[in-house]
């Protein structure tokens, strides 16, 4: 079927999205004068997985920036991955808002501390934050670690600090988290599967 | 899921109960509509609310929240009394024929062995009878009154349609109609699939809800079949993965478990987990446990783990009890905890009784929140008026908030509900100084290690010897970690049948967990993930979506654990002779010399059907358990117990034992349970299709879609209380209150339960005091501090509230 560029836009205006028409093979003929390119055609496409529920929908993220070292990428559009066997290009109302999660004004940008009794956050460096936390941990662990019980059982556990692990983190982060917390002797470990 | 999302299209009957896939898992739900459109499948929804899943169902039945075991137990009774079971499957693939211990008994709400003092059971009698050869005794004729089949029949004979209706509030005819529809799939070539989620787990009897359904699937012969199975629709993108990786108080990666403190001897520890077959000729795959465990220890400790030191067994912490979140917050509330980490987790919003959680956090010395977003937990100390009325100056907890990357800014793998491990890539840098979780953990660990190296301290051995072979130690890469999870050969692995032949060279990635060894020559961080990053590369990033069988298994799309298998227990999709029960939906089959087909066979590939090996190779029985032996806290057969806050003040089956007798209730919490006289309505929490937990209230588009907190009540209740749609109402429980807009709906109806009129109040959970949506109350202000007796998952789906105009 031959469709001119003008007819093509008319069909689109009738309420069908241009992308689905294109999928069906109704691409318009080449235009002699282009107004402008689709933004996405110059964007970088990156494949990812929706971080919300566990359907595991494939998504395509489009970012501006050519991925060179000094060019800062910014994600400008996200849509379902049409090749994905489960979601086949669709996204639900949750996933359709992913761009606004990435760019939420409530994204945290810097390590902060709220001192005891204070009513405000104070920005600190990563090194200061991690060192202070590690100091807290060591002090608590050294004081409360149970190597042996009173009746002589070897237990090597640390019960006064606990850890909740993130069910939206990758397997690789989750595994490293497990490796660290268990080897400190922590037993109060859980992830969202508990609730 | 034993099966997977796309496989739902192969079902004949789909039951959504204890979940609401259309709203909570919309893009997975498309496979339900696919089944309806192309497989003439029928959808049944059983739910207190007429959900959007119900709106497109073929049949909807209402049910009172917390009464699912009564419903499903009644269904078991129906299937047995109407002889609607898959006979050969039940006889050959379940423990129906096994004889049960002579002392096992059930009467007046309690199983044999109960100790009221400790609220627990001595489970000795919850076992099979064994013969002189050590194997379990069975009666192939099913005549012996002590065989599982007859005890099960007797147990559920009390669940008559009248009793079911009396407990659940489901009209009897509607209950029977659901039974009839499901019973049709007892035919060997028909399947029902069950889809469930938190609507089944968040009860004090959550695990047994699921077990009851699993028993039905065994009776119908649906496990292992395409279009069958038990399908948990999980709630986070990698909640499956973190469970697989053992990030729970009592587990290790790959469903291995930590030792209890009494298990001081390493040999006994392994032997009690490497279970020997209970019947002749069975595989009992967990016999390989030592290979998985020792390979994990080699991943964690490298050369420090030796046979002489029992592969560092003493270094692992030993349990005196399970430190689940309810236990931990109880301790924190008593001032017995000093530090706590919340990595991508918002406990103030997620755990029951917000007032208790906030008070507990206020007793910590330090709290560390690692998150991409500003969560309520990170500001539990700040006053947000009615939503969080606290005095910061009185809270001495030091709070650190560390920014982490989100999905779009990192690389790695996630495991979907289908058990499919999918690799994803980074699309942009994170804002500001945000770091990946792995980098943050490495930063903490290396600092601690340095401190222990310099200063010494309590038991530094495990810390100093943790294997840390990463190229950039303070930022291990996803590739390195994924390869460590898969595992590799540490020395040349020789073929045991031909020692001249090297199977895997030292340093090479393993092809599968079948190559793991218990002599320290292999390492693997999580045995069930083995194969995902083999010598052939990263199989999790495969993108071939071709589906030659038409079943939707797409074996070359990413990688499914275990062994890239898409439907587990798939040997059970064939009859004992190895022919598919349904030739049109062949998953695997015996071809005369081996097992093969449209999936990776879940079986010993060369074990011929006549050898009689059972299809449930992970069980020492070789078959599925209708009788759970000692695996469950409250009994080998599921029994209906009321929620701890029950609207009917009794249990019609046994008034003397109302709620789960084996559930753990802390001192003070029993008193905090409300009574129906004061709080007459059933409160139940749920999720909306426009929001994801407490995250999307930070995303503008979702905040626009559902900006303001509301609760949903039925028309009868609204009329009785003089409430109109749009009024602000106060919902109270014995622990606190919330105020929200009333949505008056036909979707929640009044039910007749045990002679009473029971109303339900629906409470969506998505609001809080941080975000771009309108601030609201954390719904967990209302919920009770009690969990399932096995998992301690809190009872968020069924509690008591009162309502009034605000």
pLDDT digits (tens, 9 = 90+) for B295-348: 999 999 999 999 999 999 999 999 999 999 999 999 999 999 999 999 999 999
Taking Cα atoms as reference points, which of B391, B341, B373, B380 lies closest to residue B357? B380
The order of strands in the sheet holding B192-196 is: B59-61, B42-46, B13-17, B192-196, B230-232
Which residues in chain B are classed under CATH 2.40.40.20? 681-805
Whether the predicted pLDDT of A4 surpasses 80: no
**Each residue's pLDDT tens digit, B772-792:** 999 999 999 999 999 999 999
> Residue B637 burial by CB count (10 A; 0-12/13-18/19+): exposed, middle or buried?
buried
At residue B672, the pLDDT reads: 84
Q: Which residues of B540-572 are buried (b: 16+ CB within 10 A; e: fewer)?
A: bbbbebebeeebbbbbebbbbbbbbbbbbbbbb
Give yes or no for a contact between B561 and B13, defined as CB atoms under 8 angstroms apart.
no
Residue-wise pLDDT tens digits, B585-597:
999 999 999 999 9
pLDDT for res A41: 84
Beta bridge partners of B369: B342, B401
Q: Which residues contact A174 (CB under 8 A, 6 or more apart)?
A: A165, A166, A191, B238, B241, B242, B245, B247
Q: Which two tokens stand for residue B5?
A: 């999302």
Chain A interface includes B324 (CB < 8 A)? yes
Residue of B nearest to A109 (CA): B432
Query: How is the beta sheet containing B339-343 ordered, strand by strand?
Result: A122-123, A112-114, B398-403, B366-371, B339-343, A161-165, A189-191
Give the separation between CA B100 and CA B445, rounded to whole angstroms.
50
Pick the CATH number of B325-410+432-465 from 3.30.2000.10, 3.30.830.10, 2.40.30.170, 3.40.50.740: 3.40.50.740
Pick one of 2.40.160.20, 3.30.200.210, 3.40.50.300, 1.10.132.20 as the CATH number of A39-107. Answer: 3.30.200.210
CA distances (Å), origin B415, targets A78, A171, B240: 21, 8, 6
Whether the CB of A111 is below 8 Å from some CB of chain B: the reply is: yes
CA–CA dist B389, B477 (Å, integer):
43
Q: Which residue of A has its CA nearest to B461?
A: A183
CB contact under 8 A, A93 and B702: yes
Q: Which of B408, B421, B526 sits opposite A175 (nearest CB)?
A: B526
Average pLDDT for residues B30-37, to the nearest whole number?
98
Backbone φ and ψ of B752, nearest 5°: -90, 110
Contact A140 B794 (CB under 8 A): no
| Contact criterion met (CB below 8 Å) for A71 and A99 | no
Q: If 0-12 CB within 10 Å is exposed, 13-18 middle and 19+ buried, where does residue B309 land?
A: middle
Q: Using the predicted structure, report yes or no on whether residue A23 has a pLDDT greater than 80.
A: no
Task: Tell me what pLDDT residue A37 has.
Answer: 76
- The DSSP H or E segment spanning A161 is strand A161-165
β-strands B366-371, B339-343: how paired?
parallel
Indicate where chain A has its CATH 3.30.200.210 domain(s). 39-107
Contact B407 A117 (CB under 8 A): no
Rg (CA), chain A: 26
Residue the block writes with tokens 């609401």: B20
Q: What tokens appear for B740 in the block?
A: 């929200």
Instruction: Supply the DSSP string of B683-747, one letter for each residue.
Output: EEEE--TT--TTTGGGSHHHHHHS-S-EEEEEHHHHHHHT--TT-EEEEEETTEEEEEEEEEESS
The arrangement of secondary structure in B681-805, i.e. its CATH architecture, is Beta Barrel (2.40)
pLDDT digits (tens, 9 = 90+) for B517-542: 999 999 999 999 999 999 999 999 99
Contacts of A131 (CB under 8 A, 6+ apart): B447
| Rounded CA separation B344/B373 (Å) | 9
Contacts of A179 in chain B (CB under 8 A): 300, 466, 525
What is the DSSP annotation of B276-316?
A: PPSSTT---GGGGHHHHHHHHHHHHHGGG--TTTGGGGGGS
Enter the CATH code of domain B6-232.
3.40.228.10
- Cα separation, A93 vs B687, whole angstroms: 13
A154 touches B: beta carbon within 8 Å: yes
B169-195 mean pLDDT: 98
Q: What is the pLDDT of residues B112-125, one digit of tens each?
A: 999 999 999 999 99
Chain B contact for A149 (CB, 8 A cutoff): yes
Is residue B542 within 8 A of residue B531, CB to CB? The reply is no
Of B320, B408, B438, Cβ closest to residue A176: B438
Peptide bond into B562 cis (omega under 30): yes
What does the pLDDT average to over B688-705? 98
> Which residues contact residue B378 at a Cβ distance below 8 angstroms, ignoring those fewer than 6 apart?
B342, B369, B371, B399, B401
CB contact under 8 A, B695 and A101: yes
User: Per-residue pLDDT tens for B131-147?
Assistant: 999 999 999 999 999 99
Half-sphere exposure of B450 (CA within 13 A, CB side): 12
CB proximity A142 to B under 8 Å: yes
Q: What is the pLDDT of residues B716-769, one digit of tens each?
A: 999 999 999 999 999 999 999 999 999 999 999 999 999 999 999 999 999 999
Asked if A129 is an interface residue toward chain B (Cβ–Cβ < 8 A), one would say yes
B441 touches A at CB < 8 Å: yes
pLDDT of residue B293: 98
Region of B445 on the Ramachandran plot (φ > 0 left; ψ -120 to 50 alpha; else beta):
alpha
> Is the CB of residue A122 less than 8 Å away from at least one CB of chain B?
no
Q: Is A43 near chain B, with CB under 8 Å? A: no
Count the alpha carbons within 13 Å of B26 in the hemisphere toward its beta carbon: 19
- 8 Å CB contact of A94 and B433: no
C-alpha neighbours within 13 Å on the C-beta side of residue A28: 15
Give the distance between the most distant pair of CA atoms in chain A: 88
Q: Residue window 287-316, chain B: list those with CB within 8 Å of chain A.
A: 300, 314-316
The yes-or-no verdict on residue A11 having pLDDT over 60 is no
CA distance linking residue B731 with residue B800, whole number of Å = 10
Q: Label residue B668 by pLDDT band (50, 70, 90).
A: confident
Do residues B442 and B472 lie in contact, with contact meaning Cβ atoms separated by under 8 Å? Answer: no
Give A95-116 pLDDT, tens digit per residue: 999 999 999 999 999 999 999 9
What are the φ/ψ torsions at residue B161 (nearest 5 degrees)? -55, -35
Test A106 with B772 for CB contact under 8 angstroms.
Answer: yes
Query: pLDDT band for position B577 (50/70/90)?
Result: very high
**Which residues touch B592 (CB under 8 Å, ≥6 apart)?**
none
């Amino acid at each position: 079927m031959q469709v001119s560029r003008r007819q093509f836009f008319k069909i689109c205006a009738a309420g069908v999205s241009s992308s689905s028409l294109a999928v069906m093979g109704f691409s318009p003929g080449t235009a002699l004068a282009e107004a402008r390119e689709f933004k996405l055609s110059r964007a970088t496409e990156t494949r990812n997985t929706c971080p919300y529920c566990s359907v595991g929908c494939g998504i395509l993220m489009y970012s501006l920036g050519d991925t060179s070292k000094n060019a800062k990428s910014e994600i400008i559009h996200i849509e379902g991955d049409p090749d994905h066997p489960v979601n086949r290009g669709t996204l639900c109302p949750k996933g359709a808002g992913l761009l606004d999660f990435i760019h939420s004004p409530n994204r945290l940008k810097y390590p902060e501390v709220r001192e005891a009794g204070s009513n405000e956050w104070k920005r600190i460096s990563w090194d200061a934050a991690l060192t202070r936390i590690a100091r807290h941990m060591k002090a608590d662990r050294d004081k409360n670690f149970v190597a042996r019980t009173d009746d002589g059982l070897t237990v090597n556990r640390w019960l006064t600090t606990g850890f909740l692990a993130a069910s939206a983190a990758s397997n690789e982060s989750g595994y490293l988290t497990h490796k660290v917390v268990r080897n400190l002797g922590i037993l109060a470990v859980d992830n969202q599967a508990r609730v | 899921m034993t099966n997977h999302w796309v496989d739902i299209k192969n079902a004949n009957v789909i039951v959504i109960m204890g979940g609401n896939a259309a709203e909570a898992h919309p893009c997975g739900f498309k496979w339900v509509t696919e089944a309806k459109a192309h497989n003439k499948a029928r959808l049944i929804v059983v739910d207190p609310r007429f959900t959007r899943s119900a709106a497109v169902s073929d049949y909807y039945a209402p049910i009172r929240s917390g009464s699912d075991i009564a419903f499903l137990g009644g269904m078991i009774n129906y299937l047995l009394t109407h002889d609607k079971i898959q006979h050969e499957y039940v006889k050959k693939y379940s423990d129906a024929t096994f004889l049960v211990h002579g002392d096992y008994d059930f009467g007046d709400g309690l199983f044999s062995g109960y100790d009221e003092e400790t609220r627990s059971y001595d489970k000795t009698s919850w076992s099979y009878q064994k013969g002189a050869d050590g194997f379990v005794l069975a009666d192939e004729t099913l005549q012996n009154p002590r065989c599982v089949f007859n005890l099960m029949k007797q147990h559920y004979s009390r669940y008559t349609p009248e009793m079911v209706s009396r407990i659940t509030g489901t009209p009897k005819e509607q209950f029977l109609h659901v039974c009839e529809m499901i019973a049709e799939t007892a035919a060997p070539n028909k399947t029902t699939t069950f889809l469930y989620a938190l609507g089944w787990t968040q009860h004090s009897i959550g695990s047994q809800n699921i077990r009851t359904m699993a028993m039905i699937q065994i009776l119908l012969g649906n496990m292992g079949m395409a279009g069958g199975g038990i399908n948990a629709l999980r709630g986070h993108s990698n909640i499956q993965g973190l469970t697989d990786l053992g990030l729970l108080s009592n587990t290790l990666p790959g469903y291995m478990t930590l030792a209890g403190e009494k298990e001081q001897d390493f040999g006994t520890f392994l032997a009690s987990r490497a279970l020997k077959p209970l019947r002749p000729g069975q595989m009992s795959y967990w016999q390989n446990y030592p290979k998985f465990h020792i390979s994990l220890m080699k991943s964690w400790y490298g050369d420090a783990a030796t046979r002489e030191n029992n592969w560092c067994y003493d270094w692992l912490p030993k349990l005196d009890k399970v430190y689940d979140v309810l236990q931990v917050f109880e301790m924190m509330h008593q001032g017995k905890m000093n530090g706590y980490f919340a990595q991508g987790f918002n406990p103030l919003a997620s755990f029951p009784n917000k007032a208790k959680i906030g008070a507990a956090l206020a007793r910590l010395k330090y709290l560390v929140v690692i998150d991409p977003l500003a969560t309520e937990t990170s500001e539990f100390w700040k006053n947000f008026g009615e939503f969080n009325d606290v005095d910061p100056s009185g809270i001495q907890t030091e709070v650190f908030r560390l920014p982490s990357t989100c999905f779009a800014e990192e690389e790695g793998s996630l495991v979907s509900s289908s058990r499919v491990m999918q690799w994803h890539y980074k699309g942009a840098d994170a804002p500001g100084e945000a770091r990946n979780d792995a980098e943050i953990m490495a930063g903490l660990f290396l600092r601690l290690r340095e401190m222990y190296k310099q200063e010494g301290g309590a038991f530094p051995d495990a810390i100093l010897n943790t294997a840390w072979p990463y190229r950039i130690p303070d930022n291990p890469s996803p590739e390195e970690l994924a390869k460590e999870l898969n595992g590799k050969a540490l020395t040349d692995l020789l073929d045991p049948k031909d020692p001249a032949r090297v199977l895997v060279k030292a340093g090479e990635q393993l092809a599968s967990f079948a190559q793991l060894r218990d002599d320290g020559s292999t390492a693997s961080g999580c045995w069930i993930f083995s194969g995902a990053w083999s010598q052939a590369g990263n199989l999790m990033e495969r993108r071939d979506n071709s589906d030659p069988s038409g079943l939707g298994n797409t074996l070359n799309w990413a990688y499914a654990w275990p062994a890239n298998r898409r439907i587990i227990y798939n040997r059970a999709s064939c009859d004992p002779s190895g022919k598919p029960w349904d030739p049109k939906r062949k998953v695997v089959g015996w071809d005369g010399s081996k097992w093969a087909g449209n999936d990776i066979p879940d079986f010993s590939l060369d074990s011929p059907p006549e050898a009689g090996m059972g299809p449930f190779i992970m069980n020492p029985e070789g078959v599925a358990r209708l009788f759970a032996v000692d695996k469950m806290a409250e009994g080998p057969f599921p029994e209906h117990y009321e929620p701890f806050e029950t609207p009917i003040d009794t249990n019609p089956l046994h008034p003397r034992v109302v709620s789960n007798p084996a559930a753990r209730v802390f001192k003070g919490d029993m008193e905090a349970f409300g009574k129906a006289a004061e709080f007459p309505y059933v409160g139940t929490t749920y999720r909306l299709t426009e929001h994801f937990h407490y995250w999307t209230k930070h995303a503008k588009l979702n905040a626009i879609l559902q900006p303001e907190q509301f609760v949903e009540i039925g028309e009868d209740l609204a009329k009785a209380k003089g409430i109109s749609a749009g009024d602000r109402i106060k919902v109270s429980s014995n622990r606190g209150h919330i105020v929200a807009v009333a949505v008056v709906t036909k979707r929640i109806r009044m039910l007749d339960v045990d002679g009473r009129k029971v109303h339900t109040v629906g409470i969506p959970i998505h609001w809080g005091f941080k975000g771009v949506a309108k601030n609201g109350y954390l719904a967990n202000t209302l919920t009770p501090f009690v969990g399932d007796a096995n998992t301690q998952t809190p009872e968020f789906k069924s509690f008591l509230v009162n309502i009034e105009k605000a």
